[in-house]
Amino acid sequence: MSGSPSLPNFFTQKAVVGVGDLAVSNNTTVTISTYALGSCVALVVYDSVVQAGGLIHIMLPDSGLSLEKAQKQPAMFADTGIPLMFRNLMGLRVERKRLKAFVAGGASIISGADMFKIGERNIAAVKKMVNILGIPVIRADIGGVNNRTVHLNIATGEVELKKPTGISKFSLA
């Protein structure tokens, strides 16, 4: 019947990751998404062998800015959120040596001079953490002045990146 969803699309689920949050999954009907990354940074990781991945939407680089907030919402910060995401991924049989990563965001969206340089600091903090963990970043779309939306398809490892200038798709598999 025209206009009816196809069977695979009927069962597709979307997990939306808000600011300072994360999601991991090995459910092949799930797409993990985050919207409107400005100075925030998204780290997307995927293990193609077990078809599992995760996405974190990092707001700030260092939990030292608010230890109380980091205890309540650790995914808000790069230094507490990224290790938490990797602990969650290990429960899905993900192996660090098989992971591939994508990093997006860190824009300078405040008009005029951004004296706090949050986007730049977030990018540096994420790079530091993935280097410590030994995860190869195979692609990045960082900096600039545009916001970004990111989707990770758990079944395929495909990442869709949307910016005001267009849409690109690539695979982490």
**Using CA atoms, how far apart are residues 112 and 124, in angstroms rounded to an integer?**
21
Domain assignment of residue 153, yes or no: yes
% of the chain surpassing 70 pLDDT = 90
3-state class (DSSP) for residue 64: helix
Q: Give yes or no for residue 58 having a pLDDT over 90.
A: yes
φ, ψ at 20 (rounded to 5°): 75, 25
- Judge contact between 41 and 58, C-beta under 8 A: yes
**Using CA atoms, how far apart are residues 153 and 166, in angstroms rounded to an integer?**
19
End-to-end CA distance of the chain: 33
The CATH number linked to 79 is 3.30.1330.200
Domain assignment of residue 85, yes or no: yes
Domain assignment of residue 45, yes or no: yes
User: Residue 142: which domain range?
Assistant: 7-171
Query: In the chain, where do the E strands start and end?
Result: 13-16, 22-25, 30-37, 41-47, 52-58, 100-105, 137-142, 148-153, 158-163, 166-171
Domain assignment of residue 108, yes or no: yes
What pLDDT sits at residue 109? 73
* Mean pLDDT across the chain: 92
What pLDDT sits at residue 65? 83
Domain assignment of residue 1, yes or no: no
Mean pLDDT on 21-47: 97
**Using CA atoms, how far apart are residues 119 and 104, in angstroms rounded to an integer?**
10
What pLDDT sits at residue 6? 52
Q: Give yes or no for residue 1 having a pLDDT over 50.
A: no
- Judge contact between 53 and 98, C-beta under 8 A: no
Domain assignment of residue 74, yes or no: yes
Domain assignment of residue 2, yes or no: no
Q: Give yes or no for residue 97 having a pLDDT over 50.
A: yes
Domain count within the chain: 1
In tens, the pLDDT along 99-138 reads 999 999 999 876 555 567 999 999 999 999 999 999 999 9
Please indicate whether residue 40 is annotated as part of the active site.
Answer: yes
Q: Give yes or no for residue 160 having a pLDDT over 50.
A: yes
Distances in Å between the Cα of 102 and the Cα atoms of 6, 19, 44, 152, 164 are: 30, 17, 5, 10, 19
What pLDDT sits at residue 12? 75
Of 153, 130, 133, nearest to 142 by C-alpha is 130
Q: Which of 17, 32, 40, 103 is catalytic?
A: 40
| pTM over 0.85, yes/no | yes
Strands 148-153 and 158-163 turn out to be antiparallel
Which of the two residues, 163 and 9, has the higher pLDDT score?
Answer: 163
What pLDDT sits at residue 116? 79
Residue type, 164: P
